[in-house]
Amino acid sequence: MRPTGKCYRWTLIFLLFLFGFVSIIYSESVTDISFIAASAVNLRSEPSTSSPIITVLKRGQPCEIINQQDEWVYIKLPNELTGWVSVQYISFSPLSPSEHLMSPLHEELIRFAHSLLNTKYRYGGNSPSGFDCSGFTRYVYAQFGYELPHKASEQMKYGQPIEKDSLQKGDLVFFKTLGSKIINHVGIYTENGNFIHASSGAGRVTISPLTSGYYLPRYQGARRILSTINE
């Protein structure tokens, strides 16, 4: 018995419906391919700036978006590593060579340093589990390919001397504290007369004024590191 024209029509409608349904399911299951849109972006274990850092991602790193929670996205890297990053550091199209260089290095460095705010102070520490002052500056600069010694007085021997009225973001600033005869404290200048540092007094990574208060009379000078290598 040959199928009638009516059967053909109903069969075609059914097949079109089935194809459309499968397409919807498939499109919803495909993960968005995205790219990291800044240098030194922290991949975190939870959607919070206070959560542990899994690794640091480079600009242009491809990733898959698995989930989103408020201003955070849960991503998977090609090596199957997963974690959370702020959505502001995600691009939904491949980055061109010019976009890879969009942000000046010193801006990237300060943003990375800010991501470590409130990390606890630990004497001798040089990792996100705890920093002392030179361990903090050493760790931040290491993420950008700059190797510094783990001692404030030794770090002052690196880079170019800078006058106080010529400070720029990313410059290292040095101090003598507690009656010390040598340089024993270091931080990173941010902007507007402030610097970020691992403070034993505060017990954490914090931001302090450079031009007033405790650190004003103890200031000993500054060095510019970023302009001395690969520029």
The DSSP secondary-structure symbol of 134 reads H
175 close to 219: Cβ distance less than 8 angstroms: yes
88 vs 82: CA distance, rounded Å: 18
What Rg, from alpha-carbon coordinates, does the chain have?
Answer: 25
E strands, 61-218, in order: 62-69, 72-76, 82-86, 90-91, 126-127, 130-131, 160-162, 172-175, 185-189, 194-199, 204-209
Q: How far is CA 161 from CA 4, 164, 166, 177, 189, in A?
A: 91, 10, 10, 20, 14
125 close to 205: Cβ distance less than 8 angstroms: no
148 close to 138: Cβ distance less than 8 angstroms: yes
Q: Tell me the two tokens of residue 171.
A: 């410059």
Q: How far is CA 229 from CA 72, 101, 170, in A?
A: 34, 16, 14
Phi first, then psi, for residue 89 (nearest 5°) are -100, 15
* Active-site annotation, residues: 133, 185, 197
